[in-house]
Amino acid sequence: MSAPVFWLRCEKKPFERRAALTPTTAKRLIDAGFEIFVERDEQRIFDDAEYEAVGCKLVDNNSWAQAPRHIPILGLKELPVSDEPLPHTHIQFAHCYKHQGGWSSVLARFYKGGGTLYDLEFLNDENGRRVAAFGFHAGFAGAAAALP
């Protein structure tokens, strides 16, 4: 049986430095038997070397579309606008289910590609409580990074 795998994609939104997976958490997953691929990314708050030091396999920037289709793609924010079908499983804050701008086009891409979207904003535990959310200061962190 092969090890479970995740692929951490780079973020393409300007000023987005946050990551959906920290090196510390990646190490825990690797220790639990996971294989983790991490796209090289000069924009991310964590250096590529930090991921490599804990055992992640570094891959080219923005190469997730060429990843084997069985590997789930982890991201933070929505993908750039495109009409390309999405055949992978994506785990991210997609902002589709509140009917935010472009939501129908995003869902159409998953439908066309046969992919699956796990929108982190709507993953709940057995009591209906969200299991992933941005903290109160998340928006301020992005705004601060954009200041001159």
**Architecture of domain 5-146 in this structure:** 3-Layer(aba) Sandwich (3.40)
Higher pLDDT, 127 or 55: 55
DSSP 24: H
Q: Is 98 a catalytic residue?
A: no
State the pTM of this model.
0.84
User: What is the rounded distance in angstroms from the CA atom of residue 7 to the CA atom of residue 21?
Assistant: 10
Give tens-digit pLDDT for 20-67: 999 999 999 999 999 999 999 999 999 999 999 999 999 999 999 999
Q: Looking at residue 147, what is its pLDDT?
A: 44
Position 19 confidence tier, pLDDT thresholds 50, 70, 90: very high
Q: How far is CA 71 from CA 42, 49, 68, 75, in A?
A: 23, 22, 6, 13
Domain map (residue ranges) of the chain = 5-146
Q: Is 95 a catalytic residue?
A: yes
Q: Looking at residue 11, what is its pLDDT?
A: 94
Given the residues 95, 98, 112, 137, the one annotated as active site: 95
Given the residues 70, 77, 90, 98, the one annotated as active site: 77
